[in-house]
Amino acid sequence: MARHVVTSQRDGRGRLVLLLLVATAVLAVLVAGVITADPRGLLARAPVVGDSCPSDRLPTTSVSVVAAPDIAPVVERVVAPLRSQELPDGRCLQVLLTSQNPAETVAGAQILPLDRAPNLWIPDSSLWLGRLEQWKPQRVSAFASSPVVVATSTSVVKASGWDKKPPTWAAALAGARPVAAPNIAQDAATLSAELALWQALGKGEKAQNALAAATLAGLRAGAPTRESAVASVQDDPNAAPLIPLSEQAVTEANRDVRDPKLVAVYPDGGLPSLDYPVARVEASQLTAEKRTAIQAVADALAAPATRTVVRNAGFRDTGGSTSAAAGIVPAAVTPMTPPSQAEIKAVVTQIVTLSAPSRMQVVIDMSGSMRASVGNGKNRSQVAALAALTAGNVLPDVAQVGLWGFARDLKGKADRIEFLKMQALGAPAGKGKTHRDIVNRDMFAMNEQLGGNGTALYATAVAAMKQMKGLYDPRAGNAVVLFTDGADENPGGPSLDDTIAELKRLYDPQRPVRLICIGIGPGIDLGAMKQMSAAAGGEAFPLSDPRDLPEILFEVMTRRDA
């Protein structure tokens, strides 16, 4: 019995040992299989003693940064060393940098939720911060700066005398020289220059008109992009336009050019500046670890050593200092205090409105009284045509214009003649001419066709409004611009009260077509014209000098709100 008990115990231990050996062998095979099949698997990612950042085996905290394209390479030089930094909590810092045009960032914020926003945003100007209302970015520091200048060729500078005395902003942007300013509201340097012009002229009515003129002139400059405008300076220096650019952009454009023609002009009266703010976008429910990581990146971007990196890249640092080694000739710059956010928003709204296409039905009185002289060898018909021509010259080629003439019984029993249908001014019209050329030709030709038997003013205003309402384009500013030298003379036609009631019925504030009445000569019924225009969201103006019409046109174009 005792022997049996001993034997039984020995056999149990033997079986246990055997089971342990088999289990060990199976585990070894399984481990070997895992390592062979996935050499970068769980074991490879497991932290090891002495491991350091950067490492894919240590936990990480990522910080997303979006920067404007011109400053993004400089930001990369600053944040690159951070990718080997270990945070106080033992995690590795990862910086994810994306280059994106600020206008695209603003557009994306319209549709993307806050959790898709970057942790830090570095646009080229603080002008953008107020336009990103959905994400509410908070400025925490500035990264670099670059004054806004007017770039052109050395030939233009000498011909303009600016090598001896720099121009004012008004002389540069509202003078005779073409200004290449495409996409004003989407380019911080150009927008800053327009704001500088507006500020320099006192922010009043004169400033508003100059801003409108400069905006429309920029649209007519023919350069679809800033890059093409810069290239045109190099290609034909004598015909070079004026281009609002940052000082750094001028330096960068000349960097690899054998014989650079592009130079920077520093207008009198102070300079605005691209200030490259560092803004934090506060997403909800950020962990303490995440906040610490974001702060580490923000601190590096604002560190004193960063200034040297910025200067060597051709920018000025936040104090305005430059580096001659980067190719910038140090120039004393008087900074211009930026407008308030409310003022900026108002100016941007005006520029966006002016930049949108315009659709105008021009209606000109052709009654016999338009033959009356106004002096200087011109009659009223010629003054109307000259005024319309002067105003039309400031419109870009994308603006659309139609042309009517009117009187009572002008052609048979018809009160109106449709000379030209609505079409873009730049549209080809055959034989090398454009619609603009044909509009100008036909307006002056009206002088040879004056006649009729009175003035069907009320009926014509209603007819023009009806047509434009049917042609309404929600992407454009829609208006009827009516020239007349007198009062309504149309027995059997609608009364003033009937006309006002019909115009009120036609006018839709949600789809506005405005009626603008322009009176020429002493016989106008300005009171009736004002009532008609007011009923259709517009205004009436007496016109004594054709050169005044562009300012009236600016008023029309910038009042598109209901």
Mean pLDDT of 274-290: 88
Mean pLDDT of 15-30: 38
Q: Which of 273, 298, 333 is the last residue of a domain?
A: 273
Q: For residue 338, is it within any domain?
A: no
Question: What are the DSSP E strand ranges found in 68-170?
Answer: 92-99, 120-122, 138-142, 146-153
Q: For residue 26, is it within any domain?
A: no
Local confidence band at 555 (pLDDT 50, 70, 90 cut-offs) = low
Lowest mean pLDDT among 371-375, 380-384, 440-444, 455-459: 371-375
Whether residue 327 is predicted with pLDDT greater than 90 in this model: the reply is no
Q: Which of 262, 297, 321 is the last residue of a domain?
A: 321
Same-domain pairing of 427 and 508:
yes
Q: For residue 337, is it within any domain?
A: no
Is residue 189 within 8 Å of 244, Cβ to Cβ? yes
Same-domain pairing of 390 and 510:
yes
**Could you report the per-residue pLDDT of 68-100, keeping only the tens digit for each?**
999 999 999 999 999 889 998 889 999 999 999
Local confidence band at 224 (pLDDT 50, 70, 90 cut-offs) = low
Same-domain pairing of 304 and 387:
no
pLDDT for residue 32: 41
Q: For residue 316, is it within any domain?
A: yes
For 450, phi then psi, to 5°, come to: -70, 150
Among 121, 32, 15, 28, residue whose Cα is nearest residue 71: 121
Return the higher-pLDDT residue of 154 and 30: 154
3-state secondary structure of 544: coil
Whether residue 150 is predicted with pLDDT greater than 50 in this model: the reply is yes
Is residue 330 within 8 Å of 319, Cβ to Cβ? no
Query: How high is the mean pLDDT of the chain?
Result: 84
Same-domain pairing of 131 and 141:
yes
Percentage of the chain lying above the pLDDT 90 cut: 52
Cα–Cα distance for residue pair 276/288, rounded to 1 Å: 27
Same-domain pairing of 500 and 414:
yes
Among 256, 123, 113, residue whose Cα is nearest residue 191: 123
pLDDT for residue 331: 66
> Residue 91 carries which DSSP code?
P
3-state secondary structure of 353: helix
Same-domain pairing of 494 and 433:
yes
3-state secondary structure of 162: coil
Report how far Cα 389 is from the mean position of its chain's Cα atoms: 28
Same-domain pairing of 290 and 244:
no
Same-domain pairing of 154 and 122:
no
**Secondary structure of the chain: what % helix, strand, coil (to 5)?**
45, 20, 35
Tokens, residue 348: 């941007």
Mean pLDDT of 383-389: 89
Mean pLDDT of 521-536: 93
Local confidence band at 110 (pLDDT 50, 70, 90 cut-offs) = confident
Q: For residue 36, is it within any domain?
A: no
For 298, phi then psi, to 5°, come to: -60, -40
Question: Which CATH number goes with the domain that contains 83?
Answer: 3.40.190.10
Same-domain pairing of 139 and 242:
no
Q: For residue 348, is it within any domain?
A: no
- Looking only at the bridges linking them, the beta strands covering 513-520 and 540-543 are parallel
Q: Which domain holds residue 191?
A: 146-273
Is residue 180 within 8 Å of 242, Cβ to Cβ? yes
Instruction: State the DSSP string of 232-275.
Output: HHHH-GGG--BEEEEHHHHHHHHTT-SS--EEEE--BS-B-EE-
Same-domain pairing of 141 and 157:
no
Q: For residue 27, is it within any domain?
A: no
Same-domain pairing of 407 and 281:
no
Dihedral angle over CA of 432, 434, 437, 443, nearest 10? 140
> Residue 85 carries which DSSP code?
P
pLDDT for residue 357: 77
Same-domain pairing of 461 and 365:
yes
Distance (Å) of CA 173 to CA 151, 186, 240, 261: 11, 18, 14, 20
pLDDT for residue 16: 37
pLDDT for residue 222: 60
Q: For residue 437, is it within any domain?
A: yes
pLDDT for residue 70: 95
Whether residue 14 is predicted with pLDDT greater than 50 in this model: the reply is no
Q: Which of 239, 257, 273 is the last residue of a domain?
A: 273
Question: Which CATH number goes with the domain that contains 497?
Answer: 3.40.50.410
Identify the residue whose tokens are 């003649």: 417
Other C-beta atoms closer than 10 Å to the C-beta of 444 total 15
**Could you report the per-residue pLDDT of 246-261, keeping only the tens digit for each?**
999 998 999 888 889 9
Structural domains in the chain (count): 3
> Residue 90 carries which DSSP code?
S
Cα–Cα distance for residue pair 374/383, rounded to 1 Å: 8
Instruction: State the DSSP string of 53-118.
Output: SS-TTS-EEEEEEEE-TTTHHHHHHHHGGGGGPBPTTSPEEEEEEEE--HHHHHHHHTTS-GGGS-
